[in-house]
Chains A and B, each alone.
Chain A
């Protein structure tokens, strides 16, 4: 679809180093109706927008991954760079817009020189001129344009000043291409990387000397400009620009400090965790209640038995289990956005790099792992920022072990069973214990997987941590909100269809072949009748048959077919376990005290063959352990497939984590029984 558009409209690629203001410019230029295209290899999606929507220029703008140079450092980078020359989806660009942070001129000119030398038609956009201005320096735009033999435009990302000028110059360049033909760039070749890089930088230093000047003071004769024009003097201006931001250095003294740095790190992580849980909690129950209300409404208003069930239990509940996590994900992305925009995330990654490198991960694994405590899906998307393939795959591999929020309702139910009613505070300790246990286990699992990485991950790269620490600045609410919106949309689009499809399948196997059930209705409220009908359906359904078939498998864990069925339904999303248990143990109370009546039913449940109690402290703890390890989330599997590019890793995750869960549960349940805690 996109390629059809390209045949008639020119393609402009937006290229630039990380932190060069590329995304801000993209948002300024592109209209609202974005499409995403896949960037090959990295499986990273990049947005395309049509400039025509906003400014009347007939061209498609495509974003690209931030790169430092055209010489790839890894196979993944090679794919990114190759697709700059010829993108398999959209072809080769007519024009390249290259963003350069004016305060980082010398470092960012390297990519510009390489692009121009390759034969691309390039427009240089200088961003963050205000930072340079604070140092009382400015770049002579025309001189830079003469030296590089391409157009140079200054843009103010905050106010959008300079955009009109840029649009005019894009128009001019496209007209030239119309007359002279599309440029045919040649791949940037290097005979001796080191020599050529040093030569490039020598050339850059001359250019910087020529174009950087003191801002003329009013009332004084501008000697420096005169000197520039006569090519006298020079290094003084470069020296002035070579001092990093003083305030940033001071803040870093604290934030990277051996004691205070770690203290603030733990504080920020703690704040993020608690916000994900406590701030999101009321919103999540709101979504949850809304969808149960809608489901009930549908069940009552639609007369037809199976259709009512399909709509209320299949579609509406399925949608509910996708959307219930949206509040958490929004909060997570808002916090991450603030941390990223302010410059803290890079410091966090730096602080944690050393310990993480011990288990084969990278400082950059830290953001995905943190996100994993909300949901593994955005976490896997966040893992794209890890440049090293092996470390990225290993990070993705262990993400399902992070205790995601879908496990919380399950833990809440199981913990409630364990603790005495009059001492609810014990529950908090047990929950904290589960989190600590899952963190420790994921560290152990990561280091074991890392030991066998050649077999499991199947990728070997040079491990590296070189990260620019950006200048601290106040976060921009606009861009944070925009990113949060697009990340949340990505989550819904990625997880939504999988969860929905799976909940329909689960509905099918839990509803059929029983169909409508005849219940003795006397003396029962409408809600209780509905609940009893559902229980009957489930008991006679395919799912129950499957549960009875797998009973021998779950029996060694102290479970029976009813728990087995609930575990199967939990593959839609883990929290579905709770509602399945409610159905299967025939809880007929209204949803207000669903948990307490479910607990009562669980307490009186017996193993059918022996008449012994089904739920004992050992089986409950066993279930908790099972949920700590098992990969019971089909959307995670689907996203893992997409992000790793094959079925290999998701299949291994599914097998390894589920068998690990089985083993650990077996050990827990039978160990506790041996100790007499049966």
Chain B
């Protein structure tokens, strides 16, 4: 299963599903990561984590552990 945490630099994908077993899933939905939205991995922090995702015209820095609940196609 591919998630936002294992995207490559510049890879654009659509969100399939949000995994509710992750404790951060609610906040992730609230800030706009909903199924059907397109996301792009635009940057990776110097220590490889967190990553920066583009969503709905903005940039969100998010730890890989949390991005892992964004399931993509």
List A residues at the B interface (Cβ < 8 Å). 68-69, 71, 73, 103-104, 106-107, 110, 193-194, 197-198, 201, 241-244, 248-249, 252-253, 256-259, 261-262, 265, 346, 349-351, 353-355, 357, 363, 462, 464-469
Given contacts A346-B61, A354-B48, contact A244 B54 (CB under 8 A): yes
Interface-central residue, A71, A197, A259, A349, by most chain B CB under 10 Å: A197
**Do residues B26 and A197 form an inter-chain contact, with CB atoms below 8 A?**
yes
Which of A193, A197, A465 is B62 in contact with, Cβ under 8 Å? Answer: A465
Which residues of A sit under 8 angstroms from B47, Cβ to Cβ? 351, 353-355
**Do residues A110 and B45 form an inter-chain contact, with CB atoms below 8 A?**
no
Overall SS of chain B's interface: mixed
Which residues of A sit under 8 angstroms from B14, Cβ to Cβ? none
Closest to A74 in B: B27
**Do residues B42 and A107 form an inter-chain contact, with CB atoms below 8 A?**
no
Which residues of B sit under 8 angstroms from A351, Cβ to Cβ? 45-47
Given contacts A242-B38, A258-B46, contact A466 B57 (CB under 8 A): no
Closest to A242 in B: B57
Q: What separation, in Å, do the CA atoms of A252 and B53 have in the docked complex?
A: 12
Which residues of A sit under 8 angstroms from B23, Cβ to Cβ? 462, 464
Q: What separation, in Å, do the CA atoms of A350 and B61 have in the docked complex?
A: 7
Q: Write the B16-60 contact mask toward A (1 if CB under 8 angstroms, else 0).
A: 001010011111111110110010001111111110101011111
Overall SS of chain A's interface: helix
Q: What separation, in Å, do the CA atoms of A68 and B28 have in the docked complex?
A: 10
Which of A71, A198, A353, A355 is B63 in contact with, Cβ under 8 Å? Answer: A353
Instruction: Verify if B66 is at the interface (C-beta below 8 Å from A).
Output: yes
Of the A-B pairs whose beta carbons lie under 8 Å apart in the complex, a sample of 11, sorted by A's number, is A106-B32, A198-B29, A201-B29, A201-B32, A249-B59, A252-B43, A253-B43, A261-B45, A353-B61, A468-B59, A469-B59
**Do residues B60 and A462 form an inter-chain contact, with CB atoms below 8 A?**
no
**Do residues B31 and A354 form an inter-chain contact, with CB atoms below 8 A?**
no
**Do residues A465 and B63 form an inter-chain contact, with CB atoms below 8 A?**
yes
**Do residues A106 and B56 form an inter-chain contact, with CB atoms below 8 A?**
yes
Min CB–CB distance A120 → chain B (angstroms): 18
Interface-central residue, B29, B56, B66, by most chain A CB under 10 Å: B56
Closest to B59 in A: A469
The number of A-B residue pairs with CB atoms under 8 Å apart is 127
Which residues of B sit under 8 angstroms from A73, Cβ to Cβ? 26-27
Min CB–CB distance A141 → chain B (angstroms): 20
Which residues of B sit under 8 angstroms from A110, Cβ to Cβ? 30, 32
Which residues of A sit under 8 angstroms from B60, Cβ to Cβ? 466-469
List B residues at the A interface (Cβ < 8 Å). 18, 20, 23-32, 34-35, 38, 42-50, 52, 54, 56-63, 66
Min CB–CB distance B22 → chain A (angstroms): 9
Q: What separation, in Å, do the CA atoms of A68 and B58 have in the docked complex?
A: 14
**Do residues A244 and B20 form an inter-chain contact, with CB atoms below 8 A?**
no
Which residues of A sit under 8 angstroms from B50, Cβ to Cβ? 350, 353-354, 363, 465, 467
**Do residues B32 and A194 form an inter-chain contact, with CB atoms below 8 A?**
no
**Do residues B61 and A107 form an inter-chain contact, with CB atoms below 8 A?**
no
Interface-central residue, B20, B30, B38, B42, by most chain A CB under 10 Å: B30
Which residues of A sit under 8 angstroms from B43, Cβ to Cβ? 249, 252-253, 256
Given contacts A106-B32, A252-B42, contact A68 B27 (CB under 8 A): yes
Known: A193-B29, A242-B56, A464-B27. 17 other contacts (CB 8 A): A194-B26, A198-B34, A244-B54, A244-B57, A252-B52, A256-B43, A256-B52, A257-B46, A261-B46, A265-B46, A346-B61, A349-B61, A350-B52, A353-B63, A465-B50, A465-B63, A469-B52
Which residues of B sit under 8 angstroms from A69, Cβ to Cβ? 30
5 interchain residue pairs of minimum CB distance: A354-B47, A469-B59, A462-B23, A107-B32, A350-B61
Which residues of A sit under 8 angstroms from B59, Cβ to Cβ? 244, 248-249, 252, 468-469
Interface-central residue, B18, B38, B63, by most chain A CB under 10 Å: B63
Which residues of A sit under 8 angstroms from B61, Cβ to Cβ? 346, 349-350, 353, 465-469
Min CB–CB distance A241 → chain B (angstroms): 5
Q: What separation, in Å, do the CA atoms of A258 and B29 have in the docked complex?
A: 29
**Do residues A71 and B26 form an inter-chain contact, with CB atoms below 8 A?**
yes
**Do residues A466 and B44 form an inter-chain contact, with CB atoms below 8 A?**
no
Min CB–CB distance A256 → chain B (angstroms): 5
Min CB–CB distance B12 → chain A (angstroms): 11
Min CB–CB distance A389 → chain B (angstroms): 14
Q: What separation, in Å, do the CA atoms of A469 and B42 have in the docked complex?
A: 12
Given contacts A107-B32, A197-B34, A249-B42, contact A354 B58 (CB under 8 A): no
Closest to A72 in B: B26
Q: What separation, in Å, do the CA atoms of A144 and B24 have in the docked complex?
A: 31
Min CB–CB distance A299 → chain B (angstroms): 56
Closest to B51 in A: A350
Min CB–CB distance A463 → chain B (angstroms): 8
**Do residues B18 and A194 form an inter-chain contact, with CB atoms below 8 A?**
yes
Which residues of B sit under 8 angstroms from A252, Cβ to Cβ? 42-43, 52, 59
Which residues of B sit under 8 angstroms from A355, Cβ to Cβ? 47
Which residues of A sit under 8 angstroms from B62, Cβ to Cβ? 465-467
**Do residues A68 and B30 form an inter-chain contact, with CB atoms below 8 A?**
yes
Q: What separation, in Å, do the CA atoms of A243 and B40 have in the docked complex?
A: 10
**Do residues A194 and B45 form an inter-chain contact, with CB atoms below 8 A?**
no
**Do residues B63 and A194 form an inter-chain contact, with CB atoms below 8 A?**
no
